[in-house]
Amino acid sequence: MNKIIIGEHIVKSFGEGDEKHKVLDGVSAEINEGEFVAVMGPSGSGKSTLMFALSGMDSVDGGKVVFDGKNLSGLGEKELSDIRRTKMGFVFQQPTMLKNLNILDNIILPSVRDNRKNTTTISAKAKTLMKRVGIADLENRDITQVSGGQLQRAGICRALMNSPKILFGDEPTGALNSKSAHEIMDIFSEINAEGTAIMLVTHDANVAARTERIMFMRDGAILSEMKLSKFDGKDWDSRVEKVTMKMREIGI
């Protein structure tokens, strides 16, 4: 199995002098191509920091990150941006949208940067994606004119526009009610089934139970890992149960 990301002994600190503290203390983590993983852990344990490190959005102080065969620490700002734009997708808890663009424009934004001659094709693709996630009619709305769940779906469409190799989600359902959260997770499962690797940071056992592997973090280190089978719609309750047990066991 090919690895899409290999993180080795990642060290990341914040602050200077006396206030300096290690947030990631030699974390190693790998993600296979097409794999669906979750990262869990208490608040402040370093989940987001790990995600920023693995995606090359933030530099690391020690260790190395290899993405798709390339060592990220050897790359400049431009190459990192290019990789992020063409091979990665991001979904955050709060939808990160530009407020002076409408929904459709926000979705196609990263794609038209490289390819504005194909704006029509790109827009068509965006509309297909929007239909698929259930926000087909919202293309001309301002971002302030739709609900939080709808905005989150638009964010997913944007993340998928360039057919990324991996999709990062930092508590993408954190701000949603359970029904919306479920629908969003269905979309993630579908995307993963089509071959895109996904890394989700979550506090929610119902979300983690959808994935095939869970990393548990505490104080900047990965405490333990749990393997699940690929979710095929069966054994839902026992999967959730298993995750909940593990969470209780390590005290999250």
Partner 1 sequence: MYNRIIRNDMLKSKLITLTTVIFVAAAAMLVSLAAILVVNLSGALDNLMTQAKTPHFMQMHSGEIDRERLAAFSKENSNVDDYQVVEFLNIDGTQINLGNNSLAHSVQDNGLSIQNDKFDYLLDLKGDIIKVTDGEIYVPVTYMKDNTTKVGDKALISGKEFTVAGFLRDSTMNSSLSASKRFLVSNHDFAELKDHGSMEYLIEFRLNDYSAIGEFETAYASEGLEANGPTVTYTLFKTMNAISDGMMIAVILLVSVLVVVIALMSIRFTLLAKIEDDYREIGVMKAIGLRLSDIKKIYLAKYAVIAAVGSILGIILSFIFKGILLENIRLFMGESEKSSLGLIFGIFGILLVFLVIILYVNRVLKRFKKISAAEAIRFGISQEKTVYAKRFNLNRNKLFNTNIFLGIKDVLTRKKLYVTSLVVLVISAFIIIVPQNLYNTISSKGFIQYMGIGNYDLRIQTNNADQTEEIVQTIDSDNDVSKYTVMTTKTFKVKTSNGSEENIKVELGDHSLFPIAYSEGRAPARDDEIALSDINASEMSKKVGDIITLVIDGKEKALTVTGLYSDVTNGGKTAKGVFNDNSASIIWTIVCVELSDESLVDSKVLTYSNEFDFAKASDIDEFVSQTLGSTISSVEMASYASIAIALAIMVLVTLLFMKMLVAKDKYSIAVMKSLGFTNSDVTVQYVSRSVFVLLVGIILGTLLANTLGEMLAGVVISSFGASTFSFTINPLSAYLFSPLLMICAVLIATLIGTSGAGKIKISENIKE
Ligand X SMILES: Nc1ncnc2c1ncn2[C@@H]1O[C@H](COP(=O)(O)OP(=O)(O)OP(=O)(O)O)[C@@H](O)[C@H]1O
Candidate list 7, 34, 46, 89; residue touching ligand X; CB under 6 A: 46
38, 1 contact by CB (below 8 A): no
Task: For residue 226, give the H/E element and its range.
Answer: strand 221-227
Q: What is the residue whose two structure tokens read 């990220």?
A: 72
Candidate list 49, 150, 189, 211; residue touching partner 1; CB under 8 A: 49
Taking CB under 8 A as the rule, which mask of x and - marks residues 121-160 in contact with partner 1? Answer: -xx--x------------x--x-x-------------x--
Q: Which is nearer to ligand X, 14 or 236 (CB)?
A: 14
Judged by CB under 8 A, which stretch of 130-138, 167-175, 232-240, 242-250 contacts partner 1? 167-175
Distance CA 187, CA 178 (A): 14
Q: Which is nearer to Mg ion, 29 or 108 (CB)?
A: 29
Q: Which is nearer to partner 1, 72 or 97 (CB)?
A: 97
* Of 170, 186, 214, 162, residue with least CA distance to 55: 170
Candidate list 73, 86, 180, 244; residue touching partner 1; CB under 8 A: 86
Judged by CB under 8 A, which stretch of 46-54, 65-73, 129-137, 184-192 contacts partner 1? 46-54
Cα distance between the two ends of the chain: 31
20, 215 contact by CB (below 8 A): no
User: b/e per residue, 12-42, with b = 16+ CB within 10 A?
Assistant: beeeeeeeeebbbbebebbbeebbbbbbbbb
The Cα-based distances of 30 to 2, 6, 94 in angstroms read 10, 4, 26
Give me 208's structure tokens.
């983690």
Candidate list 2, 43, 120, 229; residue touching ligand X; CB under 6 A: 43
Q: 58 is in the binding site of which of partner 1, Mg ion, ligand X, none (Cβ under 5 to 8 A by kind)? A: partner 1
Q: Beta strands of 126-174 (E only): which ranges?
A: 166-170
Name residues contacting Mg ion, limited to 39-58 (CB under 5 A): 48
Q: Where along the sequence are the contacts to partner 1 (CB under 8 A)?
A: 48-49, 52, 57-58, 77-78, 81-86, 88, 90, 92-94, 96-102, 104-105, 108-110, 112-113, 116-117, 119, 122-123, 126, 139, 142, 144, 158, 170-171, 174, 201
Q: Where along the sequence are the contacts to Mg ion (CB under 5 A)?
A: 48
